[in-house]
Amino acid sequence: MPRQIALLRGINLGSHKRVGMGPLRELLVRLGYGDVRTYLQSGNVVLTSPASPERLQRELEQQIAEELGLETRVLVRTRDELADVIDRDPLAGIADNPKRYQVSFLSAEPDAEVVRELGGVDVAPERFVVSGREIYTWHPDGIQRSKLNKVLSDRRLGVIATARNWNTVTKLLALADE
């Protein structure tokens, strides 16, 4: 059965949308998902399921809402899709601190017009590359005061996004391969 990575959006940030990874793992195992692993407290789940990524996304959103009382969006990538995200790394020669290098996973490819508009935005020294359903972002001065993060909002992109730093992205692939 295929390994899949589920990214829960916006949980455990401050005091809202709190969920422990233990109860989340227990729920997913009880619901029949295989080899469930979580990473950190930010909603990163690796599991085995025969469901398509789209179906798994819908199931997880519904089950988490019903069982844990938490309304959150879930974005899913297969193990091979995540490996491709890492292989495509367009900023490999530039981004030298994995904590300041992020990948935003998108629910769909942004509209071509949105991508063209983003291309004209000056956020130097930050850099970004839109590649399919991901946006790679480099924040050399840190993420806290990033101009780029303000530009890449869901509203502007027209799709749902959730970001993970490069350390997390590579660790999730390693977990999927275990």
Residues 77 and 97 in one domain: no
Lowest mean per-residue pLDDT among 15-19, 89-93, 122-126: 15-19
CATH of the domain at 29: 3.30.70.1280
CATH of the domain at 136: 3.30.70
Range 69-81 average pLDDT: 94
Residues 90 and 173 in one domain: yes
Reported as a pLDDT band with limits 50, 70 and 90, residue 96 is: very high
CA 43 centroid distance within chain: 9
18 pLDDT more than 80: no
Residues 58 and 101 in one domain: no
Domain stops at, among 31, 59, 81: 81
Residues 63 and 100 in one domain: no
Calculate the alpha carbon distances from 17 to 21, 24, 153, 154 in Å.
Answer: 12, 13, 19, 18
Residues 51 and 71 in one domain: yes
Domain stops at, among 51, 81, 111: 81
Reported as a pLDDT band with limits 50, 70 and 90, residue 144 is: confident
pLDDT confidence of residue 110? 95
Range 37-62 average pLDDT: 93
Q: What is the mean pLDDT of the chain?
A: 92
Distance CA 59, CA 112 (A): 30
Give residue 69's domain range.
3-81
CB distance 28 to 47 below 8 Å: yes
pLDDT confidence of residue 82? 98
CB distance 172 to 46 below 8 Å: yes
The number of C-alpha atoms within 13 Å of 120 and in the hemisphere containing its C-beta is 4
165 pLDDT more than 90: yes
Range 36-65 average pLDDT: 93
Q: How many domains does the chain have?
A: 2
Residues 27 and 55 in one domain: yes
pLDDT confidence of residue 87? 97
Distance CA 96, CA 116 (A): 27
pTM of the model: 0.93
